[in-house]
Structure 1
Amino acid sequence: MRFLHTSDWHVGKVLKGRNRLDEQRAVLREIVSLARTHEVDAVLVAGDLYDSAAPSAEAQELVVRALMALKETGAEVVAIAGNHDHPRTFDAYRPLMNVAGITLVGSVRTAESGGVVSFTAPRTGEPVRVAALPFLSQRHAIRAAELVTKTPAENSAGYDQLIRELVASLTAGFGDDAVNLVTAHLTVTGGAMGGGERAAQSIFEYHVPAGAFPADAHYVALGHLHRRQTLPAACPVVYSGAPIAVDFGEQDNTASVCLVEATPSTPARVTDLPLTSAKKLSTITGTVAELADRAAAHADDYLRVFVREPARAGLREEVQDLLPGALEVRIDPEFAAQVEVKRPSGGSEHATPGELFAEFCGERQIVDPRVQSLFTRLHDDVTAG
């Protein structure tokens, strides 16, 4: 059988105030096209379909249409909730999506109540079992462990032990007669962060060892870390990575989905399929003149710009006129003037508005006498009535 592994769509994510729904729509359309072209039997979406637990109506419509389009290719579609998603909302939509042939798993479930999804590969006929483990925060882990494993929480050694128990329970029915898959949204020890994750939910007590997954799993489809990577383990433990860079910390990541081929008796074979629909994120540095020379090469990019000139009034606007994709404009630290502004001897409560504004400009490393002059003129106009 063949299946696609994707995760971390983050539909609805805004970059520096820039709406990216059109980009996200193009990327999801590209994933649907790959599913159709490669005639896959299933698509696993390993969490964080949305960027927010309360997504906009437009974001919800885009995700629902994408899931339905994936199903229309003839593939089985299984999607789990990530830490950005709202698990109870996933569960609320579950009956309706089941009618459409799409399986959503929002909360941790027992194997018998939907934690294991079983089907026959539509095109090749192999039996398939998918153990589905949505994101589980530490504060909910004990309750879920009691539900699924019926093991007293007091006997658990920590979060990783709880995850081991959950995985063991969900994969207990794996056998040699089927393709055995696991999909989960979590951090595996030693995984490299992509640059845009919520660090508080990716480190310390939130990580688990790759050894938590059984050797008889043909493939473990993970979400949560945005960098494409495979972790060393007894079975393939794989992050597909995010299909679109969510911020400039991910600008060097390669966007892709994983095409996986497996049979009950052979190991999984993984091929990365690149995704090219999203805009490129780039960081560039230079003087205004140097940036002007490079404008054509970055005409279609979203940019973070470091200007190698001292700050002055109108500099940001000048750069954005040259580079319409410049979403963030900063002064290179080497050119950021260090200005020491002394407080008036009587303290700030006795300072004039002009002195307070000069102090503010100093703290922000804004050195331009025209700015102070403009403030003085505006202040005079206002106070003159």
Structure 2
Amino acid sequence: MKFLHTADWHVGKVLRGRSRFDEHVKVLDELVGVALEEDVDAVIVAGDVFDGAVPTPPSQALVMRTLMALQEGGREVVVLAGNHDDPRLLDDVYRPVLRQLGIRVIGRFRRPDAGGLLSWTARTGEPVRLAAMPFLSQRYVVRALEALTGTPDQHNRDYAHRFARLAEALTEGFRADTVNLIAAHGTLPGGRLGGGEREAQTIFSYYFESAAFPPSAHYAALGHLHRRQRMPGPCPIWYSGSPIAVDFGEERNTPGALVVEASPGRPADVREVTLESARVLRTVTGTLGELEAMADGLGDAWLRVVVAEKPRAGLADDVREVLPNALTVDVDEAFRPTASRRRTAVTGADAPTPRELFRAYLDHKGHEDERVVALFDRLYDELDEREG
């Protein structure tokens, strides 16, 4: 059988105040085109279809339209909840409706006999088993009492251990004569970050080990890290990466997806597919004159601009006059006044984020403890999710 592995769409993403909706329309249309051209038997969307827990109606309409287009022709489509998605929305709203159309949606972990282990027969005739493992928050996998009494290292081990137990339960139904697949959303140690992932949910306390996946699996389709990459393990394990560069930390990523061929008795064959519909993200540096000289060669790229001049009133406005696609404007560190070099934003630039302010405070106080930073990141993300 042949299937398409994709993840981390982040529909609804707003980058420095600019909507990416039109880009997402083009990118997801291109993704549907890949599924049709390759004539895949199935599509796995391994989490983070939305960028936030409360997606806008246009974002929901685009995702719904894309999933239905992917399913045309009788393809199996499987969608997991990621850490950006609201599992209740996927389970309680999307799941009952889309199941009538042949699209399987999994928002929360389920028992193997209650939708955690999916079974179907591919159009090519092979029986398929897929263990579905949506994102699992640490506060659910590690009980509250243990969180109050245990150490951080114990919590990390507990998360990885319990994830492995869940994987074991979900994959017990794998057989020698079936195509055995795993779809999961989370972080493996050693994975290279794309640059736009949520910090609090890519730290050590959310790691699980590749040993959780059994050798009987022909392929593990992962989401969460935005850089496309293969991970070491007892079976072929891949992150598909995001089909769109989500933030400037990902400007060197190659957006795309994976086309996978699998059959009983042999490891899967994986082929990378590049998607080119989204606008490029670029960081450019120079004086105002140098930036103006390079403007014609930048096309429609979204820009992060670093100005090699001393800060002054109106500098950001002058930059945006010659580079209208400049989303952020910063002054090169070498040109900042000494007292402000620790700041991440300067006159005319975007205000520092709460994370940046907290790190600057710790730096000012002389505190260097990554555990405190990680706890702040987790708290901030949980509040962000709650407020939608």
Q: TM-score range by the shorter chain?
A: 0.7 to 0.9
1:7 aligns with 2:11: no
Assess if the C-alpha contact under 8 Å between 2:9 and 2:242 holds in 1.
yes
- Give me the whole-angstrom Cα distance separating, in 1, the residues matched to 2:299 and 2:221: 36
**How many angstroms does 1:199 deviate by?**
1.4
- Cα distance change on mapping 1:320 and 1:364 into 2, 3 Å: closer
Q: Deviations over 1:286-325 (max 9, x none)?
A: 0111111111111210000011111223221221121111
1:130 aligns with 2:126: no
**How many angstroms does 1:365 deviate by?**
6.5
Give the equivalent residue in structure 2 for 1:116: 117
- Cα distance change on mapping 1:364 and 1:327 into 2, 3 Å: closer
Give the equivalent residue in structure 1 for 2:257: 257
- Cα distance change on mapping 1:118 and 1:41 into 2, 3 Å: same
Assess if the C-alpha contact under 8 Å between 2:3 and 2:44 holds in 1.
yes
Q: Which residue identity is paired with 1:96?
A: V
Q: Deviations over 1:210-232 (max 9, x none)?
A: 11100010000000111111111
- Give me the whole-angstrom Cα distance separating, in 2, the residues matched to 1:284 and 1:82: 32
Q: Deviations over 1:9-42 (max 9, x none)?
A: 0000100000111101111101100000000000
3-state secondary structure, aligned to 1:188: coil
- Cα distance change on mapping 1:323 and 1:190 into 2, 3 Å: same
- Give me the whole-angstrom Cα distance separating, in 2, the residues matched to 1:294 and 1:79: 42
- Cα distance change on mapping 1:364 and 1:134 into 2, 3 Å: closer
Equivalent positions of 1:67-216 (< 5 A) are 67-92=67-92, 93-122=94-123, 124-142=124-142, 158-216=158-216
Give the equivalent residue in structure 1 for 2:248: 248
Assess if the C-alpha contact under 8 Å between 1:76 and 1:101 holds in 2.
yes
Gaps of 5+ in 2: 144-153, 349-388
1:58 aligns with 2:65: no
**How many angstroms does 1:74 deviate by?**
3.2
**How many angstroms does 1:266 deviate by?**
2.0
**How many angstroms does 1:194 deviate by?**
0.9
Assess if the C-alpha contact under 8 Å between 1:221 and 1:238 holds in 2.
yes
- Give me the whole-angstrom Cα distance separating, in 2, the residues matched to 1:365 and 1:320: 14
Q: Deviations over 1:269-302 (max 9, x none)?
A: 0000000000000000001111111111112100
Assess if the C-alpha contact under 8 Å between 1:338 and 1:365 holds in 2.
no
Assess if the C-alpha contact under 8 Å between 1:292 and 1:322 holds in 2.
yes
**How many angstroms does 1:184 deviate by?**
0.3
Q: Which residue identity is paired with 2:189?
A: T
Equivalent positions of 1:285-304 (< 5 A) are 285-304=285-304
- Give me the whole-angstrom Cα distance separating, in 2, the residues matched to 1:15 and 1:9: 14
Q: Which residue identity is paired with 1:30?
A: E
- Give me the whole-angstrom Cα distance separating, in 1, the residues matched to 2:284 and 2:205: 37
Superposition RMSD in Å: 1.8
Give the equivalent residue in structure 2 for 1:221: 221
3-state secondary structure, aligned to 1:208: coil
**How many angstroms does 1:190 deviate by?**
1.2
Percent identity reads 52
- Give me the whole-angstrom Cα distance separating, in 2, the residues matched to 1:328 and 1:280: 15
Q: TM-score if structure 1 supplies the norm length?
A: 0.84
- Give me the whole-angstrom Cα distance separating, in 2, the residues matched to 1:246 and 1:256: 12
Q: Deviations over 1:56-91 (max 9, x none)?
A: 111111111110010014311000000100111111
**How many angstroms does 1:195 deviate by?**
0.7
- Give me the whole-angstrom Cα distance separating, in 1, the residues matched to 2:166 and 2:337: 55
Assess if the C-alpha contact under 8 Å between 1:299 and 1:324 holds in 2.
no
**How many angstroms does 1:339 deviate by?**
6.3
**How many angstroms does 1:205 deviate by?**
1.6
3-state secondary structure, aligned to 1:177: coil
Equivalent positions of 1:275-294 (< 5 A) are 275-294=275-294
Gaps of 5+ in 1: 144-153, 341-362, 367-385
- Give me the whole-angstrom Cα distance separating, in 1, the residues matched to 2:32 and 2:181: 21
**How many angstroms does 1:117 deviate by?**
1.1
Q: Which residue identity is paired with 1:102?
A: I
Q: How many residues align?
A: 333
**How many angstroms does 1:142 deviate by?**
4.8
- Cα distance change on mapping 1:364 and 1:325 into 2, 3 Å: closer
Assess if the C-alpha contact under 8 Å between 2:331 and 2:346 holds in 1.
no
3-state secondary structure, aligned to 1:187: coil
- Cα distance change on mapping 1:291 and 1:73 into 2, 3 Å: farther
Assess if the C-alpha contact under 8 Å between 2:307 and 2:332 holds in 1.
yes
Greater mean deviation of Cα atoms: 322-331 or 307-316: 307-316
Equivalent positions of 1:13-24 (< 5 A) are 13-24=13-24
Give the equivalent residue in structure 1 for 2:268: 268
- Give me the whole-angstrom Cα distance separating, in 1, the residues matched to 2:137 and 2:104: 22
Give the equivalent residue in structure 2 for 1:146: none
**How many angstroms does 1:141 deviate by?**
1.4
Q: Which residue identity is paired with 1:103?
A: R
- Give me the whole-angstrom Cα distance separating, in 2, the residues matched to 1:184 and 1:77: 15
Greater C-alpha radius of gyration: 1
Q: Deviations over 1:142-201 (max 9, x none)?
A: 57xxxxxxxxxx9x9511110110000000010111110000001011111111111111
**How many angstroms does 1:105 deviate by?**
0.3
- Give me the whole-angstrom Cα distance separating, in 1, the residues matched to 2:260 and 2:319: 45
- Give me the whole-angstrom Cα distance separating, in 1, the residues matched to 2:307 and 2:211: 47
Q: Which residue identity is paired with 2:140?
A: H
